[in-house]
Amino acid sequence: MSSELSPIDKAKFLAAKRATDFVEDGMRVGLGTGSTAAWMVRLLGERVRDEGLKISGVPTSARTAQLAQEVGIKVITLDEAKWLDLTIDGADEVDGDLNLIKGGGGALLQEKIVATASDRMIVIADAAKEVEALGAFPLPIEVIPFGWQTSQALVEEMLISMDVLGRDTTLRMNGDAPYVTDEGNHILDLHLNRIGNARELALVMNQIPGVVENGLFIDICDTLVIGHGSGRVETRDINDGTIEDMRLDFVEDDNLFRDISD
């Protein structure tokens, strides 16, 4: 129930609610992964059910695909869609230039592929995700299992020459075993504390053998929707240079707030 949600969860819900206003009938929409994106998928499902909205969704993870199907969204593959009108996804951090760290949910590879195959990417987040400089949140990189320790050593050596405050790296675990992505890979989390030049780091990192992709999303996000627990929602469009402030009502809906696995 809405009365049981924390202010952060309400902020996530409101950001997701505002972002769904950009979805129009007939669109092919990339569906992000994570707690904020899960609100967005549920809300789109409500529009499909109540308004007859007809969209095709391309999920960025198996769990998003499952949720989308549960709420009645038509799910297709990116190969079937070929190109998307819009992708809506969350972020772990976002700076003033709308550059992001993503991958806390382990889906960064599919998220980046889907986002870059879209005319527009909208990022939804609570205000706590805004930062002056990226890096406090551990930066995930996806690596193939073969020789992952060698890849890790090469990453740590590379970080010596980068403008970062920390160089510790850890293998992400799932209990006693390494975490495995939907693509069958592992994730290394880089504890950098602060990234001085995110663009340079993203380019250099992907040159390391064994590294499939990194969680820095540079020049990919077009619009940022920030929700606040008070009901205020701020929408920033980096292309138009516009900032819109509005308030949204938080309406309780038993169906929307039921426990759906994400």
How confident is the model over 205-215, as pLDDT tens digits? 999 999 999 99
Return the amino acid letter for 39. W
pLDDT tens digits along 57-76: 999 999 999 999 999 999 99
Residue pair 172/187 in contact (Cβ under 8 Å)? The answer is yes
Instruction: Give 180-193 as a DSSP string.
Output: --TTS-EEEEEE-S
Question: Any idea which residue has 């529009």 for tokens?
Answer: 47
Question: Any idea which residue has 């701020």 for tokens?
Answer: 234
Q: Which residues contact 144 (CB under 8 A, 6 or more apart)?
A: 151, 185, 186, 210, 212
Name the residues annotated as catalytic.
Answer: 111
How far apart are the C-alpha atoms of 260 and 262, rounded to whole Å? 6
DSSP type of residue 102: -
Domains and CATH numbers, the chain: 2-130+219-247 (3.40.50.1360), 139-214 (3.30.70.260)
- What is the number of other CB atoms lying within 10 angstroms of the CB of residue 194? 14
Question: Per the structure block, which two tokens stand in for 76?
Answer: 């297709």
Nearest by Cα to 137 from 102, 161, 163: 102
Model pTM score: 0.94
Is 102 annotated for ligand binding? yes
Backbone phi, psi, residue 241, to 5° = 70, 25
Is 36 annotated for ligand binding? yes
Backbone phi, psi, residue 45, to 5° = -60, -40
Is 3 annotated for ligand binding? no
How far apart are the C-alpha atoms of 104 and 179, rounded to whole Å? 12
DSSP type of residue 241: T
pLDDT tens digits along 186-229: 999 999 999 999 999 999 999 999 999 999 999 999 999 999 99
Is 91 annotated for ligand binding? yes
What is the percent of the chain with per-residue pLDDT over 70, rounded to a whole number? 94
